[in-house]
Chain A
Amino acid sequence: MAKAIDFLTRTRGHGKLHWTDWFTYAYLLFGILLMFGPVVWLVMSSFKTDAELDRFPPRFLPYAAQTVELEGYSKPLPLYKVVSGELAGETVAQVRRIGLTSQVVRLDAPDQIVKIGLKDREPIERISIATENYTNLFSKFDFLRFFWNSTFITVVATVIMLIVNSMAAFALAKYKFSGRAAVMAMVIGVLMIPQTVVLVPLFIVTKELGMLDSLWGVIVPGAATPTGIFLLRQYMLTIPDEILDAARMDKASEWKIYWRIVLPLSAPAIAVLAILAIMWRWNDFLWPLIALSRSDNFTLQLALNSFQGEMTTQWSSLLAMTVLTLLPVALVFAFLQKYIATGIASTGGK
């Protein structure tokens, strides 16, 4: 531990810690708590039983009452330790609770009911993970369906976007045709018109194309992005024209130059754009909210949002579902952290 503190507080320059160094590490520690804390709390909570979720003040670890199956009772009974009264020190099972008294039975005599005060007993608990929160998602809710919808939209939209945008970027980066400046201006124009300001006509165009309330209605309207064109074009500009000329001398057609030379050489930029596209699509909310109305077609985000209304009290399922929704993003982040940071920094977001 001392070593860890030493490691963390060691400055690279001077030996002694200035007060600003203390402030720095205090800030960073607070940052970890504030940024990761809520997510950790969410994950922890998602493993709690409904009873535990209702408990105030809440506890960090998921506890559950220990239960026992006794002859003559259909349900498992919760176990209590009696702390005062004549049964003090014994372990009993509670049959039911009426007002301030609790009807309990001894484990060795399940048919003899004893009444004790609520204050005379303490529940026996152990850490237990309520996996049923998760299994319920699959049995009671159509979680897999939403998951599939989200995945389908994300994958197909990303693939279409990569192809369409890389083709356009290639044309804008590597050909000197009349009208190029006009097309670039158009791309900037589209950059100035986010989806949010053309919701009504977008809805109507999508409806007229017969794609409303289908997954394609979410995929196609956003399939071409100006950001993607800018990002890929910028990268393709760095590929020397001589390589393309060499390929032309090698009798490669223009299409072949695109997909055998330029596309493989743009792999780093394509990877960055792919990650961004996956995130945008997976997290997309407003347009799917408008375009999809049957719950069969809902994405995970829509399902989450609509269930929080339906299940205000049923936090257990909602929390588990939230965790499963953020899981793919967390995994992508864990493995591709570096790409994401550079990618987002280079595009300035969406």
Chain B
Amino acid sequence: MIRIVSFFMDLIDIPMRHAQRYLRGHSIAWVFLFPNLVLFGLFAFLPILLNVAYAFTGTDNIMLWDRTYVAGENFAALTACSNYLDANSCELDLFWRSVHNTLLFIVLQVGIMVGVSLVTALILNRRIRARGFFRSVFFFPVLLSPVVVALIWKWILQRNGLMNAGLEQLGLERVVWMLDRNWAFAWSVFLSVWAHMGFYTLILLAGLQAIPRDVYDAATMDAAKPFRTFYRITLPLLMPTMLVVMVLALIKGVQTFDEVYAFTGGGPGSATTLIIQYIYETGFAGAPRLFGLASAASIILALVLAALTFLQLKFTRRNADG
């Protein structure tokens, strides 16, 4: 095996040696970058340009040259609302419903996620036995695929499922969770927190462990009470990490699709349809395929994400600087 790889690599070495001779000094770097840049070009940069082109053209033709220029029509359609808070007043009510759903979803999800992750990280940061084990307990679901997560909880929440059995045990009525708009939404938020909190816990735990022991010792010498220590020392020192976690959670929250789609399919009705699902269904699942509209919605989303990513890089860098 090693021999085969070795032979293959030596084979590549022949043209590379020639390249090295012609490209003086450090220009050889471009040869190493080439495959990656081709992939980035084809599957990241070209799509951005195309995305703009599609957003400003209409008809359901897939080839760009068959499409007609419609200027800002797609954007106009997306934003045609008499009242942005009421999706029914919009021309594309489903889009606005998905925007509202997404906003509510990330507010709840990020809030709960950061809270739960912080508590968990604080607890894991205490002097406990088997910290490694408990850390992986909370981390484990992060590795599960969204579809698996969705099915696990769907099975528990089905009409004859474990959750309803628990309710009956407590003397309560059974609930058909997936057919109730509010319950379906609430469980979607829960499921996504369940699946991802381990990841944020891990980051916060690393942040907590980076706080030097001496600071706590100094606080003890200053006779600070535990809660005071938390508010005046732990929380301020953890704030940079918290910011990173919050922005990361926002970035991922906005892009939530897989687990909720597999869990509810966007229903009941459109109660749990999020923005990515709207783009997916507009561009790919529906007929006719409205590429222009999907692209326009993508661009709006991309701008939001770019802003958030910029924030994240800024916070991360500030963290790294000290």
A interface residues with partner B (beta carbon < 8 Å): 7-8, 10-13, 20-21, 24-25, 27-28, 31-32, 34-36, 38-39, 41-42, 45, 54-58, 163-165, 167-168, 170-172, 175-177, 179-180, 183, 186-194, 196-205, 207, 209, 220-224, 229, 253-256, 258-259, 279, 282-283, 285-286, 289-290, 301, 304-305, 308-309, 315, 318-319, 322, 325-326, 329-330, 332-333, 337-338, 340-341, 344-345, 348-349
Contact = CB atoms under 8 A, between A and B. Distances in A.
Contact of A301 (B16, B32, B147, B155): B147
In this complex, which of A56, A57, A198, A279 has the most chain B Cβ atoms within 10 angstroms of its Cβ? A198
B128 interface: yes
A7 B137 contact: no
A220 B39 contact: yes
B134 A54 contact: no
A172 B306 CA distance: 23
A193 B283 CA distance: 18
Interface stretch (B103-111, B211-219, B308-316): B308-316
Interface string B181-224: 00000000000001000110011001000000000000000000
In this complex, which of A12, A201, A258 has the most chain B Cβ atoms within 10 angstroms of its Cβ? A201
Contacts of A32: 134, 137
Interface stretch (B76-84, B88-96, B231-239, B294-302): B294-302
Contact of A325 (B13, B45, B145, B206): B145
A18 B162 CA distance: 35
Contacts of A255: 9, 12-13, 16-17, 20
A349 B306 CA distance: 17
A56 B160 contact: yes
A8 to B, nearest CB: 6
A193 B137 CA distance: 32
B39 A202 contact: no
In this complex, which of B26, B257, B261 has the most chain A Cβ atoms within 10 angstroms of its Cβ? B26
B151 interface: yes
Contact of A224 (B26, B36, B139): B36
B137 A183 contact: no
B182 to A, nearest CB: 22
Contacts of A204: 50, 54, 62, 64, 291
20 contacts: A35-B141, A35-B194, A36-B137, A39-B144, A45-B155, A54-B160, A58-B162, A167-B32, A167-B36, A186-B45, A197-B302, A201-B54, A202-B43, A202-B47, A204-B54, A204-B62, A223-B39, A224-B43, A258-B32, A344-B202
B26 A31 contact: no
A183 B305 contact: no
B280 interface: yes
A171 B27 CA distance: 9
Contacts of B161: 58
B155 A28 contact: no
Contacts of B26: 175-177
Interface string B261-280: 11001000000000010011
A199 B280 contact: yes
Given A41-B156, A55-B160, A24 B279 contact: no
Interface string B135-153: 1111111111111100111
Given A171-B33, A279-B143, A341 B136 contact: yes
Contacts of A256: 13
A258 B13 CA distance: 10
A57 B301 contact: no
Contact of B129 (A10, A13, A222): A10
B47 A198 contact: yes
Nearest to B139: A341
A282 B138 CA distance: 21
A333 B138 CA distance: 13
Given A28-B134, A200-B298, 12 more contacts: A31-B134, A164-B35, A179-B30, A187-B40, A194-B255, A201-B295, A204-B54, A253-B20, A285-B145, A319-B155, A332-B143, A348-B248
A191 B45 CA distance: 11
Given A171-B30, A285-B146, A345-B202, A196 B257 contact: yes
B73 interface: no
B168 A57 contact: yes
Contacts of B119: 27
Q: 9 closest pairs, A vs B, by CB?
A: A201-B50, A283-B145, A201-B47, A175-B29, A255-B16, A171-B32, A168-B36, A224-B39, A57-B165
B243 interface: no
A293 to B, nearest CB: 10
B252 interface: yes
A337 B136 contact: yes
B43 A205 contact: yes
A170 B254 CA distance: 33
B244 interface: yes
A11 B305 contact: no
B147 A200 contact: no
Interface in B224-260: 226, 244, 248, 252, 255, 257-258
B206 A345 contact: yes
Given A177-B30, A224-B39, A12 B127 contact: yes
A341 B145 contact: no
B48 to A, nearest CB: 6
A205 B29 CA distance: 27
Given A205-B43, A322-B152, A326-B145, A28 B140 contact: no
B283 A200 contact: yes
B48 A253 contact: no
B145 A254 contact: no
B120 interface: yes
Nearest to B158: A315
A283 B143 CA distance: 8
In this complex, which of B49, B161, B248, B312 has the most chain A Cβ atoms within 10 angstroms of its Cβ? B161
A185 to B, nearest CB: 11
Contacts of A164: 35-36, 39
Contact of B146 (A13, A55, A192, A283): A283
